[in-house]
Amino acid sequence: MHATTARAGFVVSKAVGNAVIRNQVRRRLRHLVRPVLDELPVGATLVVRALPPAAGASYSTLGTDLTAAVTAARRPRRPR
């Protein structure tokens, strides 16, 4: 089976908060990731891990952090 689009997965541990908070963070991230998936190569997999400060972060802050993380991940690496 070949992937035709990029996809995303989310890791939101109990350290982020109770189930209500974790689901809120996951929903916010899922909404923020949708437009980013169109920019990724076909078949790419993006894994987003929410750290505990995400529970208190604003929607705007989560978006800025996600954009920065994806930009950094797409930057070419220097050979070791």
**Angle between helix 19-37 and 59-74 (nearest 10):** 50
Q: Which residues contact 63 (CB under 8 A, 6 or more apart)?
A: 32
**pLDDT band, very low/low/confident/very high, at 2 (cuts 50, 70, 90):** low
Which pTM value belongs to this model? 0.84
Q: Which residue has the higher pLDDT, 48 or 78?
A: 48
* CATH classification for the domain delimited by 7-74, as one of 3.20.80.10, 3.30.70.120, 3.30.230.10, 3.40.50.2300: 3.30.230.10
Q: Which residue has the higher pLDDT, 5 or 64?
A: 64
Give pLDDT, residue 45. 93
